[in-house]
Amino acid sequence: MRPECKSIGKSWFERLNDISFWRRIMPGLGGRSLVSRLLALLTLGAVMVYLIVNIGLWWTSSRLIEDNLEKQAVRWLAELDDLGTPLYASHGGKQLANIDKHIKHFPEIAFIRYYDASGTKVLGEAGEVRGADIPLLKPQQVERLQQQPAGAERNYLVDRSLLSGAYLRFISPIRVKSIRSDGLLNFSLENEKEETEKIVGYIDLSIDSGYYKEQMVRSMASGSLIIAALLMLGLFFGSRMIRRALAPLTELQAPLARLARGEIDVNVERAKDVEIAVISDALNTTISALKQRDEMLQKMAESDPLTGLVNRSYFARALGEEIEQVTRDGAESAVYFIDLDKFKQINDTYGHAAGDKLLIRVAELLKSQVREKDVVSRLGGDEFTVLARGISREGAMDLANSFNKILREMHVTEGEHIFSINCSIGIAMINPGRHTTDEILSHADTACFASKSQGRNCYHMYEERGDSKTEVAVDTGWFKRIQQAIKEDRFVLVYQPIIDNVDSGKECYEVLLRMPGPNGELVLPSIFLPVAQRFGLMTDIDRWVMVHAMKALADFRAAGRDIILSINLSGQSLEDKSLLQLIMDQMTLNRLPPGCVIFEITEQSALRHLENAKYLIQGLRATGCRFALDDFGTGFSSFVYLKNLPVDFIKIDGSFVNSMAQNSIDETMVLSIIHIARSLGMKTIAEFVPDEKTITMLKASGVDYLQGFYVGVPSERLPTSLRVVSDTKKNAG
C-alpha cells in the first residue's frame, strides 16, 4: 500500500504529523540536503525576524498604547475635572449622571472617583468598575500630589499596580486658582499675574489598558496566522525554486556517485551557469587526470619498471586470452621462456647498474624480433617470456634461434668493460584446450631448464613426454606441493652438527629443510627451493622453518639439551620487514635466550640485499642473536662489504674447504678468509669438511668450527654424543 493511500482517511492533524507527507512535498526532508538546510536556515531566519519584529511590535505597541492612554487620560482628566465641578460647587453636585453619560463612549475607562481635599473621603464614583475592589488613595500618593508644583508638566500620578497591572490608574489633583488681590486692577492678559492655587480634591481615573492589549493580541494573532500561512507557502515555493536553482549542482550528484564507485568513464555535462560550469569543467579535468593516472597505474601495474616490458600478470592474462583464441580458432601460438645465462655472474662482476643495462638491452632486442601483436614480458630477475601469436612450430623454433643469435651477438659496454650474454630458451606450443596458462608456462620453463641442461645458449622445444627428473624438478605440481607442505606442516627439519674446535662440549646444529616427495622420499632443497624461489614461496618457507626450528629448540632445551641452532634465511626474506618482529616474537614465545640462535644468510643474498641485511643483522644482534655469512668466498664480493656487515661467523664456502687438502689455492683462500675473519673479530666455520687431513689443516689454520658429512650428517634426531675433534672416528649418528 502506497503511503498516499495510507494518508487517506487520516485527519488533517495526522497528516501533518506524517513525515512521508512532508517528504512528498519537500523531498530531502529528514535527510541532510543542501536544499533542506537552505530552507531550514531561511525558515529559521524568518522565524527569528518574525519573533524579533513581534516582540518589538508588542513592546512598542504596548508602550504606544500606554503613552496614548496616558495622553488620553490627561484629556479625560481635564474633562472630568470640568464635569466634576458640581461635586465641589457651592451647592453640591447632582451631576454624576453626566459623567456616566460622558464616559459611556469610552469603554476603556474602568472607573472614576472623586475625593475631597484631604484625599480620604470619596465624593462620587462613576464607571463600570466600582466598589471595594478599588483601593482608596494612599497617603503617600496624596502627599506626592500636594508636593508637585502647580505648573508641572505632569501633574498627575500613574499607578500601574492596580489589580496586578490590569488597570492604569491616574490620580490628578483638582486645583482652583485665584488672582491675587490687586491682580484685576489694570488687568492685562499680557502680564502674567501671580495666582494662588489650592487643591480642592482629587480625581482618580482608572483605564483598562487590557482592552487595547486584547485588541492588539487579536490583531497579532491573526497577523501571525497569516504570516505563518505565507511562510508555509513561501517554504513550499521556495523549496521548488531553490531546487530549480540548484538543479545544475544536483545534476552533478550522479556522475560524482559513479566517480566515487570508481567508475572513471564518466562525462560531466558542462553546465550553463558560470559557477557550476567551473565545477563541471574541474570535474571533467579531474576525470581526465584520473583516467590518465588509471592508465598509467594500469600500465605500471602491468609493466616492468626497468625494461618497460609487460610483467608477469599481464603476460599471464594475455596468455590466457591467447589460449582462448587458439581454442576458438584452432591456430597455433608459442610461448618462450628465456633465461639469461650466468647473468648473476655478470651482475656480481660488473655491478647492478651494468646488470640493469644489460636487461634493458635484452628487452629491446627481444622486442625487435617480435611482431606488434606478440607480447614480450620480463618475469623477473633475468627471466623473460614471449608470446608469439599465430606461429607454427617451425616458425617458433626459428624465432627462438633468432633470439639466441641476437643475444649472442649483443655486446654491452660498461666503462672499460665489454661483455655479452647468452640465453637459454624453452618453447612451449599452445595446444587448443589442453593446458592452462600455468601449465604452458611451466612447460616453457621446463624446456628452458632442459636447454640449460643441454649446455645453455640454445633452445629446447617442450614435448609432452620429457625427463622425469626434470619434470619432477620443475613441474608446477611442485608449487602446489610446497604450498601444501607449508600449510600442512609436512616439511621436515634435520639438524647437521657444527663442531667447535675449541670447546667440543658445545652443541651447535645447522637446521636444514627436507620435503617429502610424491613417493614418500625426502626431497633435497636443491630440488624444490628453486621452484619455491621462482614462485616467491621462500618467505613462507623461511617463516615455517623459523617457527618450527624455534619450537624444536625450545623442546630440546626443555629436554636438557643446551644446544644452539643455526637457521638459514633466504634473500627473499631479507625483503620482509616483518621478519625481525616474527623472530623476536618466536624467541619470546618459546622463551629462548638470544645466544642460542644463529641466523645464516648467504654472502650473495647479503650483497644483493645489503641494506636489508644490515637492518636485519643489526636488529637481531641487538637482541643477542648471532649471524653467520654463509657460502663466503663465492660471490666475488669485496672484503670491504665485510666491514659493513656486522656478522659473527663466516662460513667458508665448501668448494674451498672440500679441496684445500689437494689444492694450494683453495688452501690459501681458506687461510686468507680465516685470517681476515679473525682480524675482523669474526669466527670461521669450515663447511663440507671431507676428511681427517682437512680437519688437521683447518685446525692448524685456526678455524673455529667444522661442518660436513665427515663431521656429522644431517638427521632428524640429535646425536647422543658429538664427535670429539681430537677423535678421528666418524660421529655416530
Partner 1 sequence: MQDVRIRFITRLSARNQLPWNRGLFSFSGRQSLWAACLLMAFCAVLAGCLPPPQATAPAPGLTVLLSGSSPAFAGVQREIGKKFPQRVDTYTLDDESLYPAVQKKIQASDPPVVVAIGLPAARLAQGLSGKKVIFCQVFNYEDAELVTPWMKGVSATAPIREQFRAWKALYPKLTRVGVITGTNLQGLMEEARAAAKENQIMLDHVEVRSDKETLYAYKQLSPKIQGLWLVPDNRVLSQDVIRDIMAHSVKEGKQVAVFGRELLGLGGLISAETSYADIAEQVLARVRRAQEASGVPGAPVIPLTRTVIKINTVMAKRLNMTLPASLRGMDYAP
683-712 positions binding partner 1, by CB under 8 A: none
Please select the residue that binds partner 1; options are 140, 147, 186, 638, rule is CB under 8 A: 186
In the bound state with partner 1, the residue whose beta carbon lies nearer, of 25 and 150, is 150
Grid cell listed for 614: 644490515
C-beta of 186: minimal distance to partner 1 in Å? 5
C-beta of 126: minimal distance to partner 1 in Å? 17
C-beta of 188: minimal distance to partner 1 in Å? 5
C-beta of 95: minimal distance to partner 1 in Å? 9
C-beta of 180: minimal distance to partner 1 in Å? 6
| Interatomic CA distance for residues 179 and 172, integer angstroms | 22
Grid cell listed for 369: 624480433
Please select the residue that binds partner 1; options are 38, 136, 200, 231, rule is CB under 8 A: 200
CA distances to 15, 47, 54, 238, 580 from 231, rounded to whole Å, are 19, 9, 15, 10, 70
C-beta of 86: minimal distance to partner 1 in Å? 7
C-beta of 90: minimal distance to partner 1 in Å? 6
Cβ(175)–Cβ(136) under 8 Å? Answer: no
- What is the DSSP secondary-structure string of 19-42? HHHHHHHSTTTTS--HHHHHHHHH
The secondary structure of residue 357, as a DSSP letter, is: H
C-beta of 229: minimal distance to partner 1 in Å? 54
In the bound state with partner 1, the residue whose beta carbon lies nearer, of 202 and 315, is 202
C-beta of 78: minimal distance to partner 1 in Å? 11
C-beta of 172: minimal distance to partner 1 in Å? 13
Strands (DSSP E) along 532-680, which ranges?
A: 563-569, 597-602, 626-632, 649-652
Strands (DSSP E) along 260-352, which ranges?
A: 333-340
In the bound state with partner 1, the residue whose beta carbon lies nearer, of 82 and 321, is 82
- What is the DSSP secondary-structure string of 182-200? TTTTT--SSSPPPEEEEEE
201-240 positions binding partner 1, by CB under 8 A: none
| Interatomic CA distance for residues 130 and 675, integer angstroms | 132
Q: Which stretch binds partner 1 (CB under 8 A): 177-185, 416-424, 515-523, 616-624?
A: 177-185
381: left (phi over 0), alpha (psi -120 to 50) or beta: left
Q: Which stretch binds partner 1 (CB under 8 A): 10-18, 184-192, 302-310, 406-414?
A: 184-192
C-beta of 151: minimal distance to partner 1 in Å? 12
- Number of C-beta neighbours around residue 434 at 10 A: 12
Q: Does 147 bind partner 1 (CB under 8 A)?
A: no
Number of residues located near partner 1, criterion CB under 8 A: 28
In the bound state with partner 1, the residue whose beta carbon lies nearer, of 88 and 615, is 88
List, in order, residues 6 or more apart from 728 with CB less than 8 Å away.
692, 695
Please select the residue that binds partner 1; options are 101, 104, 180, 405, rule is CB under 8 A: 180
Q: Does 185 bind partner 1 (CB under 8 A)?
A: yes
Q: Does 189 bind partner 1 (CB under 8 A)?
A: yes
Cβ(88)–Cβ(96) under 8 Å? Answer: no
In the bound state with partner 1, the residue whose beta carbon lies nearer, of 71 and 198, is 198
Q: Does 150 bind partner 1 (CB under 8 A)?
A: no
Q: Side chain identity at 157, as an amino acid letter? A: L
Angle CA 373–378–382, to nearest 5: 140
Q: Does 19 bind partner 1 (CB under 8 A)?
A: no
C-beta of 181: minimal distance to partner 1 in Å? 4
Secondary-structure percent of the chain, ordered helix, strand, coil, rounded to 5: 50, 20, 30
- What is the DSSP secondary-structure string of 263-281? -----PPPPSSHHHHHHHH
80-119 positions binding partner 1, by CB under 8 A: 81-82, 85-86, 88-90
| Interatomic CA distance for residues 314 and 320, integer angstroms | 10
Q: Does 193 bind partner 1 (CB under 8 A)?
A: yes
Q: Does 153 bind partner 1 (CB under 8 A)?
A: no
Please select the residue that binds partner 1; options are 11, 140, 164, 181, rule is CB under 8 A: 181
Angle CA 430–432–438, to nearest 5: 50
What are phi and psi for residue 283, nearest 5 degrees? Answer: -65, -45
Helix (H, G, I), strand (E, B) or coil at 671: helix
576-635 positions binding partner 1, by CB under 8 A: none
In the bound state with partner 1, the residue whose beta carbon lies nearer, of 89 and 245, is 89
Please select the residue that binds partner 1; options are 16, 25, 179, 228, rule is CB under 8 A: 179
Cα 302 to chain centroid, rounded? 25
What are phi and psi for residue 725, nearest 5 degrees? Answer: -60, -40
Please select the residue that binds partner 1; options are 26, 174, 617, 652, rule is CB under 8 A: 174
Residues at the interface with partner 1 (CB under 8 A): 81-82, 85-86, 88-90, 174, 176-190, 192-193, 195, 198, 200
